[in-house]
């Protein structure tokens, strides 16, 4: 006859102990594309989460046309955004005068935030809107990088 355990509590304790021994994975910056209009350069959901070291994640999108880097879009950390002409490997300071977005931080107002920048030199408009689902360790944003409407003369 097999012996039965009085309770399954030891299973939960064992699983918890194993979970504590697993290495912590850093939070990954996530961008999910939601192409609504094929003319848009970048459109979707961006999430900046706190990493193990306490800093928030950032992602850089390089816009390359025919092998030549036109510009880079910096998403994060948190509520920071930047667009720079050209593409380079070294990280650029968002507070730099080279950042085409000013101000580069989106201001929160009562748990809401939205900023739209027009960049005539690139014929683009960039909009960042705080999305639902944001929490203390992650901020979620809806991102739209679209062409400026063409003016007729």
Q: What is the pLDDT of residue 22?
A: 38
Q: What is the pLDDT of residue 30?
A: 75
Q: What is the pLDDT of residue 117?
A: 98
- Measure the CA dihedral 90/94/98/103, to 10°: 170
| Residue 85 confidence (pLDDT) above 50 | yes
Within the chain, where are the H helices? 9-21
| Residue 101 confidence (pLDDT) above 70 | yes
Q: How many structural domains is the chain composed of?
A: 1
Residue 99 lies in a domain: yes
Strand, coil or helix: what is 12? Answer: helix
Structure tokens at 120: 């005539």
Q: Distance from CA of residue 144 to its chain's centroid?
A: 12
Average pLDDT value for residue range 81-96: 96
Residue 82 lies in a domain: yes
Residue 83 lies in a domain: yes
Residue 90 lies in a domain: yes
Q: Where in the sequence is the domain holding 45, given as residue range(s)?
A: 26-147
- Model confidence pLDDT, tens digit, residues 19-53: 333 333 344 557 888 878 899 999 999 999 989 99
Q: What is the pLDDT of residue 31?
A: 80
Residue 142 lies in a domain: yes
Which of 85 and 138 is assigned the larger pLDDT? Answer: 85
Residue 65 lies in a domain: yes
Residue 134 lies in a domain: yes
At 153, is the pLDDT very low, low, confident or very high (cuts 50, 70, 90)? low
Residue 18 lies in a domain: no
- Model confidence pLDDT, tens digit, residues 58-82: 999 999 999 999 999 999 999 999 9
């Amino acid at each position: 006859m097999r012996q039965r355990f009085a309770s399954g509590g030891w299973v939960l304790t064992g699983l918890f102990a194993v979970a504590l021994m697993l290495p912590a994975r850093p939070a990954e910056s996530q961008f999910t594309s939601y192409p609504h209009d094929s003319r848009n350069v970048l459109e979707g959901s961006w999430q900046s989460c706190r990493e193990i070291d306490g800093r928030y994640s950032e992602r850089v999108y390089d816009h390359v046309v025919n092998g030549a880097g036109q510009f880079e879009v910096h998403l994060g950390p948190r509520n920071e955004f930047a667009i720079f002409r050209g593409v380079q490997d070294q990280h650029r300071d968002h507070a730099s005068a080279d950042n085409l977005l000013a101000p580069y931080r989106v201001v929160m107002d009562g748990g809401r935030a939205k900023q739209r920048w027009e960049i005539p030199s690139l014929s683009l408009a960039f909009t960042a809107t705080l999305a639902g689902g944001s929490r203390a360790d992650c901020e979620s944003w809806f991102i739209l990088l679209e062409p400026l409407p063409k003016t007729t003369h």
